[in-house]
Structure 1
């Protein structure tokens, strides 16, 4: 069993196909097929079920995938520690990001400084909803991820605090109020954005024993803002996720009582994090305080 075989296995499982995995890895499809066949023969089990258009993991394949990713993560940490001893001139850092707050407000400035300090580190960024980033962390697909805090499953580092605000179409009757309670937002059609704080918004209503009238679910914040601007729904979002557009077709109001949101970085285990991940976290903490 080799790390190359485990890397190929991980890519095939992630992309559900030999062709896509080969393209991502930059090798031939026959090399991918040969590596998977050799690995299955060595282990004496079927890791994948082959179908005409895709492959899927067997039950034991699902279990071993987590082990394989753990081994690949540790191998990457070893390489990073060796690179760190040489001045961290090479290596790879995989980052998970969600929504405008992390992808637009935080990440660009941090990345700019990180690349200046460590130009030889290859950075990979995956974007998805906040719950997706958490899943990627648990599955070791990424080394470090932006998350909404608190998040007790990981080692975390706070970067930014902002407030949740209600968004209303221009001219909405609730806009006459300077601040809004959750109960004020339960009658109108509600759009839930899954780009960054869907879990937090849902928990707010549950804690208050209230049920918003959810009519829309949007995976992108821009779709949520468009839905509100058209007058189709109201919503709650984080203030830092909003674009600096004074001509937007919506109005924002603070919540009463105020609801704060913290965004930070998370790693599965700080003790096993690679030097590149730790360097990124240290730099991110410094940049966020400036």
Structure 2
């Protein structure tokens, strides 16, 4: 069993296909297929079920995939520690980022300084909803991720905080209200954005035992803002995720009681984090913590 075989297994499982994995790796499909067959023969179990259009993991395949990713994560840490001994001249850092708050407002400033300090570290960034970042951390697909705190499953590092706000169309009947409660937002059509803090918004309503009138679900914040701007729905978002528009097509209202959102970085286990990851944490907390 080799690390290359485990890397191929992990990628095939992620992409659900030999062809896509081969394309990503820059090798032939037959090479990927041979590596998987050799791994299955060595382990004595079937890891994948082959179908005409895609593959799926067997039960034992699902179980061993977690072990494989853990081994790959530790191998990456070993490489990073060796690179650290050489002055961190090379290595890889995989970052998970969600929504405009982290991808547009936090990450660029950190990356600019990180690349200046560690130009040899290759940085990979994957974007997804906040719940996706958590899953990627658990599956060791990323080394570090931006998350909404608190997040008890990981070692976390607070960076910044903002407020949750309600967004209304310009001509909405509640436009004159200085602030709004969650109950005020349960009658009109509601648009739920799947980007950013969708989990936090859902938890807020559930904790208050309220149910918004969800008519729209958007995967991108800009689509959500367009729905509100057209007058089709209202929503709740994090203030820090909003674009710096001179003349927005919506009204922003604070919530009562106020709801704070805290953003931080998370790693699966700080003790096993690579030097490149720890350097990113140290730099990010130095930039954003008072």
TM range (shorter): over 0.9
Superposition CA RMSD, Å = 0.8
2:29 pairs with 1:17 = no
**Cα distance between partner residues in 1 of 2:202 and 2:92:** 35
Aligned to 2:178: 178
Q: How is 1:188-207 mapped onto 2 (pairs within 5 angstroms)?
A: 188-207=188-207
Aligned to 1:90: 90
Q: What does the per-residue CA deviation read over 1:206-257, in whole Å, with 9 as the maximum and x for residues that have no partner?
A: 1111111111111110110000001000000000100000212101000011
Aligned to 1:81: 81
**Cα distance between partner residues in 2 of 1:53 and 1:211:** 40
2:34 pairs with 1:40 = no
**Cα distance between partner residues in 2 of 1:211 and 1:53:** 40
Q: TM-score, normalised by structure 1?
A: 0.99
- 1:171 shift after superposition: 1.4
Aligned to 1:153: 153
Consecutive unaligned residues of structure 2, counting only runs of 5 or more, are none
SS of match in other structure, 2:166: strand
Q: What does the per-residue CA deviation read over 1:23-51, in whole Å, with 9 as the maximum and x for residues that have no partner?
A: 11121211111110100000011111111
**Cα distance between partner residues in 2 of 1:236 and 1:101:** 15
Aligned to 2:121: 121
Aligned to 1:273: 273
2:199 pairs with 1:231 = no
- 1:289 shift after superposition: 3.2
Consecutive unaligned residues of structure 1, counting only runs of 5 or more, are none
**Cα distance between partner residues in 1 of 2:247 and 2:110:** 29
Q: TM-score, normalised by structure 2?
A: 0.99
Aligned to 1:143: 143
SS of match in other structure, 2:175: helix
**Cα distance between partner residues in 1 of 2:24 and 2:211:** 44
Alignment size in residue pairs: 290
Aligned to 2:99: 99
SS of match in other structure, 2:146: strand
In the TM superposition, structure 1's runs of 4+ consecutive aligned residues that sit over 4 Å from their partners are none
Q: What does the per-residue CA deviation read over 1:189-209, in whole Å, with 9 as the maximum and x for residues that have no partner?
A: 011111011111111111111
